[in-house]
Every structure is written in C-alpha cells, then in structure tokens.
C-alpha cells in the first residue's frame, strides 16, 4: 500500500500512431513520479475500441536483452510478439509496456544476476543474492493507465496467476487468464522451470532429468509448441 505522498498524478506525455508488423497500434506514453525522484514510464499500445467486452490485455516489462539483442535466456520477446499478434487478430486490445528491465531490477543488476546464474544458481536465488525480491513489480502504474483509458474488465494474457490477482485486487476485473506460453529453448528452460516451480507460473514444460541436460530436443519441441493456447 502506497502512502498518500507516493501517489502521484499520471501524466499522458504523447500519443502517436505506431504501425507494426502485426497492424496499426496507437502508442500512448505515460509518466508518473513514483517517490518524488524516480519517474515511472510506460507505453499503452492500443488497437481498436477498448470500451467493448473485456479487451485482451498484456502487461509486459521491458526486456532489452531479449527484445533488443535476441537473447534466448528468456521468453519475453516471444511473449510480446504473441500478444501483439493476438490483439491484431481480434482487432482490439492493448499492451501496457512498462519501461523497466529485469522485472524491475535494472539492466546492470539483471546482467549481474545472469552472471550468478552462469555459476549455477537460479533466477530467484540470484535476485536474492543481489538484494532484490524475486519480482519487484507492483502493477500500480498499469492499473492507473487502465483507469485513465476507461478499461475496467480485461482478458489477461499471462502465465502468471499473481499478475491476475494483483489486477483483481486493484479493482480491474479479469474475466479470463489466457496463457501466453512461448516455445522454450535449452537456454531458457532453466529460467522457465524456476518461474514454474518458485513463482507458480502456469507453464507446461518438457520433462528433463534435473541435471540441466535436456534428453531429447525433438521431445522439447513437441512438448511446448510455439502457439497461443486459448481458454
């Protein structure tokens, strides 16, 4: 719960057309002073009429390594693509893209966490070694943006039940949680397994023997198809 002093006014900075390979979105930039010194920033990428029945919503955190560098250590880039493709297919919906790296810890700390993971510990343990919680997000900025846009009911594209609960607790009705599961790779599988086992993400992952070695890459491909699963 934020104190009254921490609750700042949401400011819409600009809105511009954003043609993408999936279709024409509008990009609205929002800023909010978080604690008097830090400015939180997010984009709302919207398509179509959002006043209708529960539009698709993806709340997505920036991942420079995945989205900019093509890193295969995580599934962020594929999840963003799947969400934008799904919204374009329906003709309406939105992505709220939070300008924060590494679930809120920043790019340098994320790289330090990767360095620790290369020595054998998992993403949650690495965050703890660096003095961070496993997930530093609180979703108050996306909630403020949804209210500003007049969106009160959504179908949420996520594998993270905690994200759906956070929205519900803030008064945004989540009428459906729609899985957004990307194909895993040998590089992303340890990260995804940690998200499943320690952060309760709803993921269907291929079996492996726990030694870090995947027994059959073709089985991995078959077990985690590169598709959006609808409920």
Token pair for 114: 């990767």
CB of 190 to Zn ion, least distance (A): 14
Catalytic residues: 135, 137
Beta carbon nearer to Zn ion, 101 or 149: 101
Residue 76 sits in the site that holds Zn ion (CB under 5 A): yes
Of 48, 55, 66, 142, the one binding Zn ion (CB under 5 A) is 66
CB of 75 to Zn ion, least distance (A): 7
* Binding region for Zn ion (CB under 5 A) out of 40-48, 56-64, 107-115, 140-148: 56-64
Beta carbon nearer to Zn ion, 76 or 126: 76
CB of 171 to Zn ion, least distance (A): 29
Query: Over the chain, what HEC string results?
Result: CCCHHHCCCCEEEEEEEEEECCEEEEEEEEEEECCCCCEEEEEEEEECCCCCCCCEEEEEECCHHHHHCCCCCCCHHHHHHHHHHHHHHHCCEEEEEECCCCCCCCHHHHHHHHHHHHCCCCHHHHHHHCCCCCCCCCCHHHHHHHHHHCCCEEEEECCCHHHHHHHHHCCCEEEEEECCCCCCCCCCHHHHHHHHHHCCCCCCCCCCCCCCCCCCHHHHHHHCCCCCCCC
CB of 80 to Zn ion, least distance (A): 9
Beta carbon nearer to Zn ion, 166 or 182: 182
Beta carbon nearer to Zn ion, 74 or 84: 74
Of 59, 74, 94, 164, the one binding Zn ion (CB under 5 A) is 74
CB of 195 to Zn ion, least distance (A): 11
Beta carbon nearer to Zn ion, 66 or 142: 66
Residue 180 sits in the site that holds Zn ion (CB under 5 A): no
Residue 63 sits in the site that holds Zn ion (CB under 5 A): yes
Identify whether the C-beta of residue 80 lies closer than 8 Å to the C-beta of residue 68: no
Residue 105 sits in the site that holds Zn ion (CB under 5 A): no
Q: How many residues does the chain have?
A: 231
Residue 80 sits in the site that holds Zn ion (CB under 5 A): no
Size of the site for Zn ion (CB under 5 A): 4
Q: Which residues 6+ apart lie within 8 Å of 152 measured at CB? A: 146, 171, 172, 173
Residues making contact with Zn ion (CB under 5 A): 63, 66, 74, 76
């Amino acid at each position: 719960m934020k104190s009254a002093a921490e609750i700042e006014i949401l400011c819409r900075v600009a809105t511009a057309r954003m043609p993408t390979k999936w279709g024409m979105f509008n990009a609205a930039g929002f800023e909010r002073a978080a604690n008097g010194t830090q400015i939180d920033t997010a984009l709302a990428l919207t398509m179509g009429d959002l006043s209708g029945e529960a539009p698709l919503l993806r709340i997505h955190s920036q991942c420079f390594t995945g989205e900019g560098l093509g890193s295969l250590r995580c599934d962020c880039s594929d999840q963003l693509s799947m969400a934008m493709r799904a919204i374009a297919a329906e003709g309406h919906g939105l992505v709220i893209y939070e300008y924060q790296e590494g679930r809120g810890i920043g790019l340098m700390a994320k790289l330090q966490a990767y360095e620790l993971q290369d020595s054998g510990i998992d993403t949650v343990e690495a965050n703890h070694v660096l003095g961070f919680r496993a997930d530093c997000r609180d979703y108050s900025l996306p909630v403020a943006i949804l209210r500003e846009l007049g969106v009160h009911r959504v179908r949420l594209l996520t594998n993270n039940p905690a994200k759906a609960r956070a929205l519900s607790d803030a008064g945004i009705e989540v009428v459906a949680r729609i899985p957004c599961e990307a194909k895993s790779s040998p590089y992303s599988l340890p990260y995804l397994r940690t998200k499943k086992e320690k952060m309760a993400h709803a993921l269907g992952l291929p079996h492996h023997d726990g030694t870090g070695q995947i027994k059959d890459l073709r089985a991995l491909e078959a077990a985690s198809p590169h598709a959006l699963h609808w409920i």
